[in-house]
Amino acid sequence: MSAIDWVVLAATIGLISGYGMWRTRREQTGETFLRGHRSLSWPAIGLSVMATQASAITFLSVPGQAYDDGLRFVQFYLGLPLAMIVIAAVFLPIYYRLEVYTAYDYLEKRFDVRMRALGATLFLISRGLAAGITIYAPAIILSTLMGWSLTGTNALIGIVVVAYTVSGGTDAVSQTQKQQMVVILLGMIAAGVTLALQLPEGVGVADAAALAGATGRMAVIDPHFDLANRYTLWSGLIGGFFLALAYFGTDQSQVQRYLTGRSIGASRLGLLFNGVFKIPMQLGILFVGILLFAFHVYEPAPTHFNPSVVQRMEASPAADDWARAELAWADANAAREVAADALVAARRGGDVESAQAAFVEAQRQLDEVRTDTETLIAQTLPDAELEDNDYVFITFVVERMPVGLVGLLVAVILLAAMSSTASELNALGTTTMVDLYERLGRGRVDDDRRRMLVSKLFVVMWGGVALAFATFASMLDNLIEAVNILGSIFYGPVLGIFLCAFFVKRVQGQHVLPAALVGQAAVIVLFFSDAPLGFLWYNVFGCAVVVSLATALSFVRPARDAS
């Protein structure tokens, strides 16, 4: 990175962090550290909710996902607006009326303290591990840029985020997320415009979409009902609905964001704002990946986007085989470029069908070379990460973005990491403090200074857990999928508990506790089995097991008899 990029990076992060500190300069108490001042307007809540979900993974991994697999990933978000409506209409009024600190606080009010502890524990496990992945994602960038060790970079980012969260608490996280989202969106627009401008002369955005479309990458909707297919209209609408309902309705990292609203109406509008803008935002980020695909049709991609894998292959005993693979890769790329030129020309007047068929064949041959290359890497470096989608976008940013914009884009990714990880650590600390330490331990801490200190210590503790898991994240293939698969393993049973609480009056704690334990075990068994089921369906499955089993138990052993 150039000196200008470093200045842009430091100024962007420094200004936003400084603004957060200035806005939260009022004396902090244990109460405001945990809950904030509860004065946010609806646009601030909407942006805060979006910023919490949009981690660095979104900006690193999603363009790479579209580069490799097209736009169909956006179906994942189709259930989100439906979930926002249910949360705004049903969950939110209950949370407000009962004045809960955490979502799990409600479970005690509805069931008993055991259910509160179980809900909080499932949240702590899933979110603690997910926080590790959200720390790891930006560590890839800095380690690639600076040549630092990945472990050391993980530690550096983790320490910075923990310090930021501990210094500001809930208020600082919420206050700065508006500015962070604005910078993030501007940065992604700049990346898209730069990509469009770097396409060859005579190749426009419509041509780029046509090239991607010929390979199936513009197929946004898949209407087939196929349980094994991860992204279809139905997995998005049904599985995505359950996932979004669980994430936004029961995950404290999100509940804590919208409960800081100045009124129930502000929180409601903030959630619906997310329902309106999330899908177009994700489609826009995915389209950056489509432009990347077209860009690399004319500017051949490296044989593998992860530079450390390339370096290791070049230094390995299979270096000669690797050199031959690189030659085959270059030839296949050249053939595809010729076919692309023909297709773009045909679109201006010619036989589009034949040109398209030739381009598809060239892409197929390129994919074959790619598969052979991956086989060679797997045989030579059994421990190497084969998937390189997470490196696609950052490679473009570092190598092709103009001076100044590189710094802005790196700032975007770091800000996204800060906003989501800070929300997560803040929620993890709050839940540990309120739901476990105070409720199951010594009771509410009366000394306010001590209360704040203990809460901050829990934030630091969870920062350590997240960092420990971050060191294992390099073993995961695709970060955006990994974080959603992890969530889907735990969210179904947790959502089942909450749906019983909201909608099945006859179910009590004694029914839902065994049902939740069985449901969680069933999802874990399903995950480790070879069952052909896309991960979004885990949410539906886990939820269905808990609701049906708890309801059945309530008939077998009604609450009145049991008591």
Partner 1 sequence: MSGSDERDLVERSREEPPPFLGTWHRVYIALLVLLAGYIALFWFITGAYR
Binding of partner 1 by 354 (CB under 8 A): no
Residue 40's DSSP bridge partners are 261
Of 3, 22, 27, 99, which one interacts with partner 1 (CB under 8 A)? 99
Of 88, 185, 543, 544, which one interacts with partner 1 (CB under 8 A)? 88
SS3 222: coil
Compare residues 239 and 463 and give the one whose CB is closer to partner 1.
239
Phi, psi for residue 148 in degrees, rounded to 5:
-80, 165
Burial 448-468 (b: 16+ CB within 10 A, else e): eeebbebbbebbebbbebbbe
Pattern 35-64, partner 1, x by CB under 8 A = ---x--------------------------
DSSP-assigned states of every residue in 156-188: HHHHHHHHHHHHHHHHHHHHHHHHHHHHHHHHH
Of 1, 21, 145, 218, which one interacts with partner 1 (CB under 8 A)? 218
Of 49, 66, 71, 369, which one interacts with partner 1 (CB under 8 A)? 71
428 token code pair = 């993890």
Binding of partner 1 by 262 (CB under 8 A): yes
Compare residues 50 and 166 and give the one whose CB is closer to partner 1.
50
Compare residues 247 and 305 and give the one whose CB is closer to partner 1.
247
Compare residues 355 and 467 and give the one whose CB is closer to partner 1.
355
- C-alpha distances (whole Å) from 134 to each of 164, 470, 473 are 15, 8, 9
User: Are 65 and 286 a contacting pair, CB within 8 Å?
Assistant: yes
Compare residues 63 and 493 and give the one whose CB is closer to partner 1.
63
Binding of partner 1 by 249 (CB under 8 A): no
Binding of partner 1 by 203 (CB under 8 A): no
Binding of partner 1 by 26 (CB under 8 A): no
453 Cβ neighbours under 8 A, 6+ residues apart: none
Binding of partner 1 by 29 (CB under 8 A): no
Looking at 73-81, 381-389, 413-421, 440-448, which segment touches partner 1 (CB under 8 A)?
73-81
SS3 40: strand
402 token code pair = 């103009």
Looking at 92-100, 112-120, 190-198, 395-403, which segment touches partner 1 (CB under 8 A)?
92-100
Of 30, 46, 63, 81, which one interacts with partner 1 (CB under 8 A)? 81
Of 11, 146, 182, 219, which one interacts with partner 1 (CB under 8 A)? 219
User: Are 419 and 52 a contacting pair, CB within 8 Å?
Assistant: yes
Residue count, binding to partner 1 (CB under 8 A): 37
Q: Report the alpha-carbon angle 262-265-271, nearest 5.
A: 95
Residues 381-400 that bind partner 1 (CB under 8 A): none
Of 130, 195, 199, 212, which one interacts with partner 1 (CB under 8 A)? 212
Compare residues 214 and 422 and give the one whose CB is closer to partner 1.
214
The distance of Cα 354 from the centroid of its chain, to the nearest Å, equals 40
57 token code pair = 């993974």
Task: In whole angstroms, give the CA distance from residue 309 to residue 517.
Answer: 42
**Shortest reach from residue 158's CB to partner 1, in Å:** 35
Alpha helices in 471-535 (DSSP H): 479-503, 509-528
Tally of CB atoms within 10 A around 247: 26
Phi, psi for residue 40 in degrees, rounded to 5:
-75, 145
Could you list the residues that contact partner 1 (CB under 8 A)?
Answer: 38, 71, 74-75, 78, 81-82, 84-85, 88-89, 93, 96-97, 99, 209-210, 212-214, 218-221, 233, 261-265, 268-269, 272, 275-276, 279-280
